[in-house]
A = this chain, B = another copy of it.
Amino acid sequence: MNFITSKDSLHHAVNIVQKAVSNKTTMPILEGILFRIVDNTIYLMGTDLEIGIKTVLPGQIISSGSVVISAKLISEIVRKLPDDDVIIELKENHVLNIKCSNSEFNIQGQSGDDFPQLPEVDSAQEISVPKELFKGMIRETIFSVAKNENIPILTGELLELQNGILKFVALDGYRLAVRQGFIDNPISLKEVVPERTLSELYRITSLSSEDNIYMSYSKNQILFRLGGTSIVSRLLEGEFINYNQIIPQNYTTKVKVDVRDLLASSERASLMVGSGESNLIKLNFSNDTLEIRSNSEIGTVCEQVEVEMEGDPLKIAFNSTYLIDVLKVISDEEVYLEFTTPVSPCVLRPITGDNYTYLILPVRYMEH
């Protein structure tokens, strides 16, 4: 294996595949990145057997071959190389020689033949999604994925495509996030993708200048393709919860509120929740005013927010974290909050359109 590339190209490629590399593994070879030249193309690849990332490295090929190099070491070296051409040559005993300007490294590697292959995904049917839409859909739902593994299927997000409408759905038992976009594709899809895969995809799409991401899937695997980069991930097994039936369709109180105002007031109110676990803040809607209160051993806070109300006055309490998490990802200026009773979920909807639906369960509390 022998090729010439640039410091920037190498840095970019190592950055992309590095995050699939496992930090704690019982297989030392998985701490490495595979460098491989085959079919006149230079590939870099990292995997922890749950997710695999492969990317094409542009360069001038002199001879083919493969080797596995410590991901940590190669990324530190590449970061510090001068901005110049990099000449990479595989020597005997899996030693990789790296020359760049007045700098020369010889690094002990491992045989590339021992590195696991990425599973094949039949990509006859590819679904194209505009990259910015895809990124937004991850960002605006991923916080609602379940953090603990009590219900394994909830540690991923449902990706659903039907009649050209793509939906990302995350839910953790206390809240639900649904984000949708129109992509005009007749294919049907209903698969659950692990949270980690989505957060890596978010990171990789942020590094890429491509306009579109392409998805395809087989029974157990899903493949995302973004230019010369492929991300393969296992899918979560099992049936996702029927989220549609838990979204209330009616309301008795509907409130229009400025998102930034409500976020700032909720954040301030949350400073007084004290050391209790529920992070309780109390909301009182009446006469076009929302009053948010919180109190604990450290003190009390009262916030007033102007709102536009329709329907009945209402007192309700939330875990402040759940309200703050949702408000942080809504980029609209205003939002609708819909309520029925103090013990029923609150639904957040856009003023126009139906790009998103968020649901938060309230906390029951005793009025003093």
Residues in chain A within 8 A of chain B (CB atoms): 70, 73, 76-77, 80-82, 95, 102-108, 264-265, 267-268, 271-272, 297-305
Contacts and interface: CB of A to CB of B under 8 A. Distances in A.
B70 A107 contact: no
Given A108-B299, A298-B70, A271 B305 contact: no
19 contacts: A73-B299, A76-B271, A77-B271, A80-B267, A82-B264, A95-B299, A102-B265, A102-B303, A102-B305, A103-B301, A103-B302, A104-B303, A105-B272, A105-B299, A106-B299, A106-B301, A107-B298, A108-B297, A108-B299
A301 B81 CA distance: 12
A304 B105 CA distance: 12
Given A102-B303, A107-B299, A108-B297, 8 more contacts: A73-B271, A95-B299, A102-B304, A102-B305, A103-B301, A103-B302, A105-B301, A108-B298
Contacts of A82: 264
Oligomer copy total: 2
A194 B77 CA distance: 37
Nearest to A297: B108
Contacts of A267: 80
A304 B300 CA distance: 65
A315 B81 CA distance: 25
A274 to B, nearest CB: 10
B299 A104 contact: no
Contacts of A104: 301-303
A15 to B, nearest CB: 17
Given A80-B267, A264-B80, A300 B105 contact: yes
A319 B102 CA distance: 21
Contacts of A305: 102
Contacts of A303: 102-104
A302 B302 CA distance: 65
A81 to B, nearest CB: 7
B103 A265 contact: yes
A304 B53 CA distance: 35
Nearest to A96: B299
Nearest to A107: B299
A282 B267 CA distance: 54
Contacts of A297: 108
B81 A298 contact: no
